[in-house]
């Protein structure tokens, strides 16, 4: 990869700019440029898309995205120590890389991008889940992005693709699978990173569906799911008691056993319950 873009190896870049990873920022750097290029390819054809990258660090994945033909990359980096290294990459790809020194949770980076948009990132561990939920719950659907290719802790990735009845099944699985096709496309060992984390990591690819798999009001569904899995060991009639009056009647309307537990109910069942709860609220 370094011979393609004419830039030095990442270890040299990190040493020259003093870019030791900071635990407080959830940083773990991927140094293998062949691997970052592979992750970029998993996002699909980038030649006609703008790409949003969160937490580029020294720019390994950024270089992969640009080398694989991304039309334009917006890299949002909170750590200003990384800016000189990212500036060097921008110089190697004139007009194709914009670096925004900002907190991804505090801005709307999509205002800087032109659709179609793909989001590709080795997400900082401390904000990854919150960003994913934001991207999955926009006010309107389809979203402005066409796909998400994101690296998480393996445990989080497994929660995104989990099936009903499994220990990993919960809120993330429902939010992701309601509106997207989601699959794990790559698993990485700790030693792939600097510094090596204590856990394995995994890349999840999510493709936005034209419309949700089952009809439901997003806010009602989110409220029902959050309440159900907040007390997942309890029967649904107990864990959902505060969600709506006469919750057992709403469960019956949705065809759900009130004594069932949250992890036993599939996506279709939760959407049916959300519709029943919304209809009851409209009737009062």
Contact in structure between 46 and 73 (CB atoms under 8 Å): no
Residues in CB range of 284: below 8 A, 6 or more apart: none
Mean pLDDT of the region 129-145: 94
Q: Report the pLDDT value the prediction gives residue 3, as an integer from 0 to 100.
A: 53
- Residue 168 DSSP one-character state: T
More confident residue, 19 or 224: 224
| Burial per residue of 64-101, b for 16 or more beta-carbon CB atoms within 10 angstroms, e otherwise | bbbbbebebbbbbbbbeebeebbebbbeebeebbbbbe
Residue 184 CA to residue 206 CA, distance in Å, equals 9
Length of the chain, in residues: 284
Q: Report the pLDDT value the prediction gives residue 193, as an integer from 0 to 100.
A: 85
pLDDT at 1 over 50: no
Q: Over the stretch 79-127, which tens digit does the pLDDT of each residue have?
A: 999 999 999 999 999 999 999 999 999 999 888 999 999 999 998 878 8
Q: Over the stretch 179-197, which tens digit does the pLDDT of each residue have?
A: 999 999 999 999 988 888 8
pLDDT at 2 over 60: no
With vertex at residue 138, the alpha carbon angle to CA 118 and CA 123, rounded to the nearest 5 degrees, is: 45
- Which of 7-16, 63-72, 266-275 shows the lowest per-residue confidence on average (mean pLDDT)? 7-16
């Amino acid at each position: 990869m370094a011979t393609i873009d004419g830039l030095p190896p990442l270890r040299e870049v990190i040493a020259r700019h003093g870019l030791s990873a900071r635990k407080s920022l959830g940083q773990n750097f991927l140094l293998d440029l062949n691997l970052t290029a592979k992750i970029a390819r998993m996002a699909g054809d980038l030649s006609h898309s703008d790409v949003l990258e969160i937490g580029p660090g020294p720019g390994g994945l950024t270089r992969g995205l640009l080398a694989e033909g991304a039309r334009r990359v917006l890299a949002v980096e909170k750590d200003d120590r990384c800016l000189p290294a990212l500036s060097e990459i921008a110089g190697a790809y004139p007009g194709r890389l914009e670096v925004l020194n900002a907190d991804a949770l505090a801005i709307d980076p999509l205002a800087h991008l032109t659709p179609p948009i793909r989001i590709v990132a080795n997400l900082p561990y401390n904000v990854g889940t919150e960003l994913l939920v934001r991207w999955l719950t926009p006010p309107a659907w389809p979203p402005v992005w066409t796909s998400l290719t994101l690296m998480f802790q393996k445990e989080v990735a497994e929660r995104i693709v989990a099936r009903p009845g499994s220990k990993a099944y919960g809120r993330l699985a429902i939010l992701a699978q309601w509106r997207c096709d989601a699959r794990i496309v790559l698993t990485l060992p700790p030693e792939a990173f600097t510094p090596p984390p204590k856990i394995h990591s995994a890349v999840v690819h999510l493709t936005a569906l034209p419309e949700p798999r089952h009809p439901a009001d997003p806010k009602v569904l989110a409220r029902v799911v959050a309440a159900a899995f907040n007390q997942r060991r309890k029967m649904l009639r107990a864990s959902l008691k505060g969600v709506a009056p006469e919750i057992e009647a709403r469960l019956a309307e949705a065809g759900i056993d009130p004594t069932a537990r949250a992890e036993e109910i599939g996506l279709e069942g939760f959407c049916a319950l959300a519709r029943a709860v919304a209809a009851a609220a409209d009737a009062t």
